[in-house]
Amino acid sequence: MKLSHADRRARLADRHLLGPAARAGTPEQVADALVGLHATDPATVFLAVAARMAGATPAALERALYDELSLLRLLAMRRTMFVVGRELAAVVDASTARAVAARERRRLLAFLAEGGGWDAAWLAAAERETLAALAAGEPLTGAELGAAVPALQQRVVVGAGKPNETTQAVASRVLRVLAAENRIRRDRPRGSWTSSQFRWVRSEPFPAPPAAEARAELARRWLAAYGPGTEADLAWWTGWTLGDVRKALLAVRAEPVLLEDQETGYVLPGDTGPGGPETAPYAALLPALDPTGMGWKQRDWYLPPEHTAELFDRTGNIGPTVWWNGRIVGGWAQRPDGEPVWQLLDDVGAEAEAAVGAAAAELAAFIGPARITPRFRTPLERRLSTP
């Protein structure tokens, strides 16, 4: 079976909830459909849901994140923050996040030993004090925890004796490791939904399904949402070794298909049909780091290569993008006065321009008085946001 670029783009309308008829009814449905939402930038989570959920509001997502806890933040695939559904959290934890947490702890211990001469015993004591400070149940910011826990006030010398010698506080790194191990979690931030000044509360580690079983389940979900994908795509998205990717694909009995660029892609058993259901033409304004834009390593089938320099930063982070029928055709930004502005990089016709304008109006209504500045800025976003 061969799947063309057009076939792959057609799948996005339904599987990534981008077509108007495919809109979700809840934030949880959006997160599950995409196997997680990129959460390095807090605004991305909200804007990714807004693009795919009928009647989306920031309040609905805040309830899921902070009241009902039906969506959870994890440091997981590629050592990146994701928001995933509660049911999937243990799978993501066992398949990727535990390995990430172990690496983070090793790095923290090396950082403490080199810069402060502290060992694992010192770190364990600092962690106990931090957890004790949260035991009363009152959410605390990092600054508040630093004031309550003397160990978190310590600073470490980095690059001693070198021209770039500096000092760094240990607090953020200790909290990062505790969060990676799910012993604490990010609670409602100070400020609006765009804020990254999270409060912290106690948490409990997830159940531990066998890692190989968890990797197979995560691969199954990724193929359902992102298939067809190559081995390189899945390795990039998960951060797994190529060996682990191949074992997971074998475990779910993934079927190979020939892609238009002559690469071998994989789909779930029986999912070899071309495209998805028929859908009306659609436009979408997706945020920086959106899961669809970041879902594959090889992107030529939905991103014209000549647009990459305008829409990505130097380290490979995608900025805000404009989509038309499953293909990136431009970018957007928010000006200081709050107005969303967009620019098409391809001539896609009057129908597309009108649809993009309507999508921009929906986006403006969702954002309201908030101001969005992506954490990783791209050339086109910078230009568009300048008055």
141: which 2 tokens?
């910011």
Return d(Cα 153, Cα 159) in angstroms, integer.
19
369: which 2 tokens?
């008085």
Return d(Cα 279, Cα 142) in angstroms, integer.
47
**Diameter over CA atoms, the chain:** 66
pLDDT of residue 122: 96
* DSSP-based three-state secondary structure for 312: strand
- Give 97's contacts (C-beta < 8 A, 6+ positions apart): 74, 75, 76, 180, 182
237: which 2 tokens?
């998205």
CB 212 within 8 A of CB 100: no
- Is the link from the previous residue into 228 a cis peptide, with omega within 30 of 0? yes
pLDDT of residue 169: 85
- Give 293's contacts (C-beta < 8 A, 6+ positions apart): 286, 303, 318, 321, 328
- One digit per residue, pLDDT tens: the chain, 387 residues? 889 999 999 999 999 999 999 999 999 999 999 999 999 999 999 999 999 999 999 999 999 999 999 999 999 999 999 999 999 999 999 999 999 999 999 999 999 998 778 999 999 999 999 999 999 878 999 999 999 999 999 988 776 667 777 888 899 999 999 999 999 999 999 999 999 999 999 999 998 899 999 999 999 999 999 999 999 999 999 999 999 999 999 999 999 999 999 999 999 999 998 766 667 899 999 999 999 999 999 999 999 999 999 999 999 999 999 999 999 999 999 999 999 999 999 999 999 999 999 999 999 999 999 999 999 999 999 999 998
- Give 20's contacts (C-beta < 8 A, 6+ positions apart): 279, 280, 282
pLDDT of residue 209: 92
Return d(Cα 80, Cα 94) in angstroms, integer.
15
Return d(Cα 319, Cα 313) in angstroms, integer.
7
Q: At which residue do the structure tokens 């804007």 appear? A: 47
pLDDT of residue 162: 72
Return d(Cα 322, Cα 42) in angstroms, integer.
20
pLDDT of residue 12: 96
pLDDT of residue 302: 98
Return d(Cα 249, Cα 269) in angstroms, integer.
11
Return d(Cα 221, Cα 362) in angstroms, integer.
30
Q: Which of 223, 199, 196 is nearest to 46 (CA)?
A: 196
Structure pTM?
A: 0.95
Q: Where are the domains of the chain?
A: 87-202
pLDDT of residue 114: 83
pLDDT of residue 166: 80
Class of domain 87-202: mainly alpha
Q: What phi, psi does 186 have (nearest 5°)?
A: -75, 130
CB 42 within 8 A of CB 193: yes
pLDDT of residue 116: 78
Q: What phi, psi does 201 have (nearest 5°)?
A: -135, 165
Sign of the torsion formed by the C-alpha atoms of 295, 300, 306 and 307? negative
Radius of gyration of the chain (CA): 22
Packing angle of the helix pair 171-180, 120-133 (nearest 10 deg): 80
Q: Which of 295, 293, 294 is nearest to 285 (CA)?
A: 293
pLDDT of residue 159: 67
pLDDT of residue 276: 66
**Residue spans of alpha helices (H) in the chain:** 5-15, 27-33, 42-50, 58-62, 86-92, 98-116, 120-133, 142-148, 171-180, 211-226, 231-238, 242-251, 308-311, 350-367, 379-385
